[in-house]
């Protein structure tokens, strides 16, 4: 996927976040959401390594070794931010105090099952905060490419990879589609400006219910 | 008052087979001086309990490369390819724990609790071999407490009683780990007289700390 696609995902997700919400952004495409957050909506970013009020990267030479983001990169704390230890940080996550978590995925399926932490035998970086975030956040949004590098659908009928969490995903946003996970199944609510419903259906490994009023983004 | 020791003195009582908790998140709030002394001392068959192994080939990774670590318990090993290789070869036994479960298990170990009931990990590989309990109609995994023989934690400033202040995001796992070991070593960038540390700025109280070690401040802008 090109940068245009990645930025489109980030921009669409930023539009979805309500005023005054507390949001945690994962590594990769989710991090790009930062650039599209409206300044006047009071949205605060939670960083699971111990603070709320994550700001942009500091200017060179201004890095504070005690303020890093969840990927270890230099970060800043916005006015009104606050710091805490990891136990408090995950109490925020697990206790239902985090409004949104935006995560990448390897696979998502019809039931909202998420696989994003391992490909056995190939890729075992660990779990980090992904399991707690997907179980604990009120809304779980997946930001990912619609298909894999090899062109295989990443939205599938049933996840084949080990699960990060069962039945937790609420929304899937790709460069092609905006899909809501509902008890009835996956509802295609919007498609990207440069694609068609047929194209999205072809690239999806699960059944899609097409919304009556299909939007564009 | 707690004794102020060199890193070498702080590591004196550590023996082969010891379990050691190490605070820090990647390189943030990460104590490194006593780990270096452990390396020099040459003890082996260690169990290291730490959120991650950090990126650099110092500290935990240096011990791993020297074949001194037999087990690692933490949440993330992807920062450094060496851990993945050691996991594959079976040279280091690796127990991966979700990060929130990890810190809460450590906290339970230090707080005298018999474990933690968490929804995290239900319906995943993490559940294997663990008890599932139903409380008020909701299911939880029973996760057992984690304790260690030693913990090494980090603060920006400490007083001689062992009260410690860790700024910004450097509190991370240091706070819970300060409670959860038989012997706790605090590496502080600054050690002051009692009364010189604002009591409102104590990240972990003196009661947990056994030994103080004075270490250098990391350079601003560098890691």
Query: In this predicted complex, what is the ipTM?
Result: 0.95
**Chain A interface test: which of B32, B94, B120, B123 (most A C-beta within 10 Å):** B120
Q: Which of B50, B62, B59 is nearest to B148 (CA)?
A: B50
Task: Give the three-state DSSP class for A141.
Answer: strand
Structure tokens at A54: 């994550």
pLDDT above 90 for B217: no
pLDDT in tens, B85-134: 998 899 999 999 999 999 999 999 999 999 999 999 999 999 999 999 99
Q: Does residue B139 lie in a domain region?
A: no
pLDDT in tens, A29-42: 999 999 899 888 99
Output the pLDDT for position A56.
87
Under 8 Å CB-to-CB from B95, ≥6 apart: which residues? B71, B72, B73, B74
Q: Does residue B181 lie in a domain region?
A: yes
Residue whose structure tokens are 């913990």: B151
Q: Does residue B132 lie in a domain region?
A: no
Q: Does residue B68 lie in a domain region?
A: yes
pLDDT above 80 for A1: no
Confidence grade of residue B220 (pLDDT, cut at 50, 70, 90): low
Looking at residue A201, the DSSP 8-state letter turns out to be: H
CB B134 within 8 A of CB B142: no
pLDDT above 50 for B206: yes
Q: Does residue B85 lie in a domain region?
A: yes
Element (H, E) at B7: helix B7-10
The alpha-carbon gap from B140 to the nearest alpha carbon of chain A, in Å, equals: 12
Confidence grade of residue B223 (pLDDT, cut at 50, 70, 90): very low
Summary mean pLDDT of chain A = 95
B107/A49 CB distance under 8 A: no
Chain B environment of A68 (Cβ under 8 Å): 25-28, 169
Residue B14: CATH number of its domain: 3.40.1080.10
Cα separation, B10 vs B80, in Å, equals: 27
Range of the domain at B156: 4-114+147-214
Helix axes B99-111, A86-94, angle to 10 degrees: 120
Output the pLDDT for position B219.
64
Number of domains chain B contains? 1
Q: Does residue B59 lie in a domain region?
A: yes
Q: Does residue B9 lie in a domain region?
A: yes
Q: What is the mean pLDDT of residues A148-164?
A: 96
Summary mean pLDDT of chain B = 95
A126/B52 CB distance under 8 A: yes
Pairing assessment for the beta strands B181-192 and B148-159 based on DSSP bridges: parallel
% pLDDT > 90, chain B:
90
Element (H, E) at B153: strand B148-159
Chain A environment of B172 (Cβ under 8 Å): 49-50, 85-86
The alpha-carbon gap from A155 to the nearest alpha carbon of chain B, in Å, equals: 19
Residues linked to residue A155 through DSSP beta bridges, in sequence order: A108
Out of A87, A162, A166, the one facing B103 most closely (by C-beta) is A87
Other beta carbons within 10 Å of A196: 11
Topology at the third CATH level for domain A3-48+84-216: Glutaconate Coenzyme A-transferase (3.40.1080)
pLDDT above 70 for A108: yes
Q: Does residue B87 lie in a domain region?
A: yes
Structure tokens at A184: 């009835």
Cα separation, B3 vs B160, in Å, equals: 8
Confidence grade of residue B185 (pLDDT, cut at 50, 70, 90): very high
């Amino acid at each position: 996927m090109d940068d245009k696609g990645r930025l489109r995902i980030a921009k669409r997700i930023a539009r979805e976040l309500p005023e005054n919400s507390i949001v945690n952004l994962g590594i990769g495409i989710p991090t790009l959401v930062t650039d599209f957050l409206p300044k006047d909506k009071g949205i605060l970013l939670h960083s699971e390594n111990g603070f709320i009020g994550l700001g942009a990267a500091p200017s060179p030479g201004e890095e504070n070794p005690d303020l890093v983001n969840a990927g270890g990169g230099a970060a800043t704390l916005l006015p009104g931010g606050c710091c805490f230890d990891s136990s408090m940080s995950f109490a925020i996550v697990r206790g239902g105090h985090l409004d949104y978590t935006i995560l990448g995925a390897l696979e998502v399926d019809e039931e909202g099952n998420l696989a994003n932490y391992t490909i056995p035998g190939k890729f075992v970086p660990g779990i980090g905060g992904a399991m707690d975030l997907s179980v604990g956040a009120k809304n779980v949004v997946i930001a990912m490419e619609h298909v894999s590098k090899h062109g295989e659908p990443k939205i599938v009928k049933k996840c084949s990879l080990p699960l990060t969490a069962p039945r937790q995903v609420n929304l899937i946003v790709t460069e092609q589609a905006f899909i809501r996970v509902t008890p009835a199944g996956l509802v295609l609510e919007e498609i990207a400006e440069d694609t068609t419903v047929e194209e999205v259906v072809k690239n999806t490994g699960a059944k899609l219910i097409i919304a009556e009023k299909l939007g564009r983004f | 008052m707690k004794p102020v020791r060199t890193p070498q003195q702080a590591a004196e009582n550590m023996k082969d087979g010891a379990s050691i908790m190490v605070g820090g998140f990647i390189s943030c709030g990460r104590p490194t001086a006593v780990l270096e002394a452990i390396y020099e001392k040459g003890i082996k068959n260690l169990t290291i309990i730490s959120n991650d192994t950090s990126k650099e080939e110092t500290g935990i990774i240096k011990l791993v490369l020297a074949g001194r670590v037999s087990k690692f318990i933490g949440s993330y090993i992807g920062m450094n390819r060496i851990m993945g290789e050691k996991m594959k070869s079976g040279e280091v036994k690796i127990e991966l724990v979700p990060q929130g479960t990890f810190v809460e298990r450590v906290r339970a170990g230090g707080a005298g609790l018999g474990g933690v009931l968490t929804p995290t990990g239900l319906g995943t590989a993490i559940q294997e071999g663990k008890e599932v309990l139903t409380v008020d109609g909701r299911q939880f995994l029973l996760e057992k407490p984690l304790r260690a023989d030693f913990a090494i934690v980090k603060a920006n400033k400490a007083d001689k009683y062992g009260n410690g202040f860790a700024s910004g995001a450097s509190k991370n796992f240091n706070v819970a780990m300060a409670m959860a070991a038989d012997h706790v070593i605090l590496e502080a960038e600054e050690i002051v007289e009692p009364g010189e540390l604002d009591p409102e700025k104590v990240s972990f109280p003196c009661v947990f700390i056994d030994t103080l070690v004075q270490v250098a401040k990391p350079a601003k802008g560098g890691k």
